[in-house]
Structure 1
Amino acid sequence: MTVVREYDPSRDLAGVEDVERRCEVGPSGKLSLFTDLLGDPISRIRHSPYFLMLVAEIGTEKKEIVGMIRGCIKTVTCGKKLDLNHKSQNDTVKPLYTKLAYVLGLRVSPSHRRQGVGFKLVKMMEAWFMQNGAEYSYIATENENKASVNLFTGKCGYTEFRKPSILVNPVYAHKVNVSRRVTVIKLDPVDAESLYRLRFNTTEFFPRDIDSVLNNKLSLGTFVAVPRGSCYGSGSGSWPGSAKFLEYPLESWAVLSVWNCKDSFRLEVRGASLLRRVVAKTTRVVDKTLPFLKLPSIPSVFKPFGLHFMYGIGGEGPRAAKMVKSLCGYAHNLAKGGGCGVLATEVAGEEPLRRGIPHWKVLSCEEDLWCIKRLGDDYSDGALGDWTKSPPGASVFVDPREF
């Protein structure tokens, strides 16, 4: 008999780590990605407003953990509406919010798969979601992970919803150049919150508690790129604040924030051949010895490495993509100083600014898969209708707490 209960760190840590270790190791001779949660299995969800981790346990006298699942709940933007406050004013667009749950970290021991353990874990997590008022639940998985896709879309009632792209760029041994035509301004958390709420709060999946994200100790800052020499990029003291900036915006500008995933988890690529390891090391040695050549190098991904995550990417104007490229260069140098191996982000498949985001295709995932499910029918979405049936927008806000 399988019993599903809440994770207890005082007695479950060793069993959870054992399942993680058995699940992450791929077929012999093939590359696989191992995730090290730094001794804290709930590190990837503990920064969310509401979170829970469940474990599946079998046995009577000698009990064994054979699976686990993590989940969190928050309020996000799921659409937008026109708000007519006063007849004398123009129509303004306001966000529509919903309480959204996120499933991640589903693991079942290879020796206990196809026995309904995963299904039971999902259903128990969904029951907790509904008890806490969540209206929708979604998961992110790889298209190639047929077992996961079949479980959620075939047995659990989820539907394919969005297909964003995960873009990953290595952190080189040299610093990358940031265009001299651009000035990068770091905003304080209050000003960054103002910018995001005024400009991006109608973007799909935008978290209502963006202030909690920006003030989190893992948030390394929000950065705006403007043309050098402009009224906002002429030097210290020229930034007027986000509200004033958006009232009188420049022709082109861009923004992004950086999140330190390194202090929550580490990654490691396993199964690489000796030849691949030698080639990777050679590129690093050459890059470190001759940094002025600016040669692309492969970081040491064959032992635990950290990453920084870029989120809240946006901007306007004909040069916005170039501004984003400059911000990515700035973020790269920040990641290099932090000892990271890669820099990553996730954007909508149709995001117009993605052409400004440097990335290696071999490290990236061009089509991640998000599946969604409506939890119950005893509520009304008002002007929204059923979010699961809405068409995708050009952009999506990826919460760094859930990457």
Structure 2
Amino acid sequence: MMAVNEQVRIVIREFNVNKDCRQVEEVERRCEVGPSGKLSLFTDLLGDPVCRVRHSPAYLMLVAEIVVGEESRGIVGMIRGCIKSVTCGKRLWRNNHDFPKLPHQQHLPVFTKLSYILGLRVSPHHRRKGIGLKLVRKMEEWFRENGAEYSYIATENDNQASVKLFTHKCGYAKFRTPSILVQPVFAHRVKISKSVTIFKLTPTEAETLYRHKFSTTEFFPKDMDSILNNKLNLGTFLAVPKGTFTCHWPGINEFLTNPPESWAVLSVWNCKDVFKLEVRGASRMTKGLAKTTRLMDRAFPWLKVPSVPEVFRPFGLHFMYGLGGEGPLSVKLTKALCDLAHNLAAESGCEVVVTEVASCEPLKLGIPHWRKLSCAEDLWCIKRLGEDYSDGSVGDWTKSRPGLSIFVDPREF
């Protein structure tokens, strides 16, 4: 029995990979993500609790531990955070003698040091005791110590507990509402339009294209090269109308010098090797109907039955990011790239393909997705932590108006 004078404390400390993995996994299993009474989404981190932030430039994982006297009674919560430099705005650069090769006027990105909170979990039996708030505040201390100017989080709009914690208690403000679009992977391959030609770019070519065309897009990461050269990056693909180039890919420099009227680009990230998801709470009837659609899809692939993938057991996914393009055919070209990503996911044994885009993204019309699996409004909340450390000044980013596009970092999905 616990002695009367023994003090019960909640200790927030850094995650210890040598002794905390089992307990952290147990808390993850108890914390299903999803509204009460509905289908819930369970995340399996494949035995590596820091895998979702490990690829970021700087990261930290904290745990909340119950301590009675001097004895640990177990981990009841955790939080992950990372820091990077991203684009928060743009400024007009006028050409001078130091940069003779630049156009007379050009918009250059303004970078700021941004921190991101993800994976906040508190065991169901220990909620409403201030543990989540303590974890957030301790993580924000680390952010400030490392020079982060802003912190942001992503949560579901209808997750009232999370929204209340961050907006009412932690001082975050609602900032952006991007859409998460989910497309099931069918048993049959999706036919890619014959009027489209798709090239696979090298990481160097992809970086050149992204920096040239999208470096002023909100949330564009300064370390884009690290993402494109990561082993989880499956490639960057560029689509143009068939016949745009007479023989073969002319190279990135020629493309940027004389770009076609219409083109589109996207990259694919392998989330399957980082984590797996599982939908829980479905009835036997729902599972049975889903299985029937898959059997029909396999037996009669020419019918192209819209089958429901096996999402009621752990499944993997591919994430499409860096979507962009120009011209009157850019939506059609985006659709072709998404079809290619679908077939890549099918070859890898994934059940869904996912992307996240700004709610007003023009290319959204070309992204196949199922509404029932997608989230029309993912909520991003932001907070200013300290002084302005950005490369140039754009004022208070938290008060800026949203643009047409955002860049979603696959390392943080």
Equivalent of residue 179 in structure 1, options 187, 193, 201: 193
Deviation string 1:110-140 (CA, Å, 9 cap, x unpaired) is: 1111111001100100000111111100000
Amino acid in the other structure paired with 2:118:
L
The alpha-carbon deviation at position 382 of structure 1 amounts to 4.2
Q: Equivalents in 2 of 1:286, 1:70: separation in Å?
A: 42
2:16 match? 8
Equivalent of residue 209 in structure 1, options 219, 223, 227: 223
Equivalent of residue 261 in structure 2, options 251, 260, 266: 251
1:59 match? 67
1:44 match? 52
Equivalent of residue 372 in structure 2, options 362, 372, 379: 362
1:402 match? 412
Equivalent of residue 98 in structure 1, options 112, 132, 135: 112
The alpha-carbon deviation at position 151 of structure 1 amounts to 0.5
The alpha-carbon deviation at position 209 of structure 1 amounts to 0.5
CA-based RMSD of the aligned residues comes to 1.5
Q: Provide the aligned length of Structure 1 versus Structure 2.
A: 399
1:136 match? 150
Q: Which runs of 4 or more aligned residues in structure 1 lie more than 4 Å from their structure 2 counterparts after TM superposition? A: 25-29, 378-382
Conservation of the 8 A alpha-carbon contact between 1:29 and 1:272: no
Look up the SS of the partner of 1:157 in the other structure.
Answer: coil
Conservation of the 8 A alpha-carbon contact between 1:166 and 1:347: yes
Matched, 1:384 2:398: no
Q: Structure 1 residues 359 and 25 mapped into 2: Cα distance closer, same or farther (>3 Å)?
A: closer
Conservation of the 8 A alpha-carbon contact between 1:79 and 1:202: yes
1:347 match? 357
Conservation of the 8 A alpha-carbon contact between 1:5 and 1:54: yes
Which ranges of structure 2 fall in alignment gaps of 5 or more residues?
1-8
Which residues of 2 match residues 157-306 of structure 1 at below 5 A?
Answer: 157-231=171-245, 234-235=246-247, 238-306=248-316
Matched, 1:21 2:35: no
Q: Equivalents in 2 of 1:317, 1:12: separation in Å?
A: 52
Amino acid in the other structure paired with 2:27:
V
Which ranges of structure 1 fall in alignment gaps of 5 or more residues?
none
Deviation string 1:315-338 (CA, Å, 9 cap, x unpaired) is: 000110000000000100000000
1:32 match? 40
Q: Equivalents in 1 of 2:142, 2:298: separation in Å?
A: 51
Q: Equivalents in 1 of 2:373, 2:364: separation in Å?
A: 16
Q: Equivalents in 1 of 2:253, 2:220: separation in Å?
A: 19
Equivalent of residue 337 in structure 1, options 327, 347, 352: 347
Deviation string 1:174-233 (CA, Å, 9 cap, x unpaired) is: 0001000000100010000000000000000000100000000000000000111122xx
Conservation of the 8 A alpha-carbon contact between 2:30 and 2:124: yes
Amino acid in the other structure paired with 2:207:
E
Q: Equivalents in 1 of 2:231, 2:334: separation in Å?
A: 24
Conservation of the 8 A alpha-carbon contact between 2:111 and 2:392: no
Which residues of 2 match residues 101-140 of structure 1 at below 5 A?
Answer: 101-140=115-154
Conservation of the 8 A alpha-carbon contact between 2:174 and 2:379: yes
Deviation string 1:298-325 (CA, Å, 9 cap, x unpaired) is: 1100011000000000000011000000
Conservation of the 8 A alpha-carbon contact between 2:92 and 2:107: yes
The alpha-carbon deviation at position 26 of structure 1 amounts to 6.3
The alpha-carbon deviation at position 90 of structure 1 amounts to 1.5
Conservation of the 8 A alpha-carbon contact between 1:254 and 1:316: yes
Q: Equivalents in 1 of 2:114, 2:107: separation in Å?
A: 21
Q: Structure 1 residues 15 and 292 mapped into 2: Cα distance closer, same or farther (>3 Å)?
A: same
Q: Equivalents in 2 of 1:201, 1:243: separation in Å?
A: 17
Conservation of the 8 A alpha-carbon contact between 1:174 and 1:288: yes
The alpha-carbon deviation at position 10 of structure 1 amounts to 1.2
Deviation string 1:139-184 (CA, Å, 9 cap, x unpaired) is: 0000100110011110111100000000000000000010000001
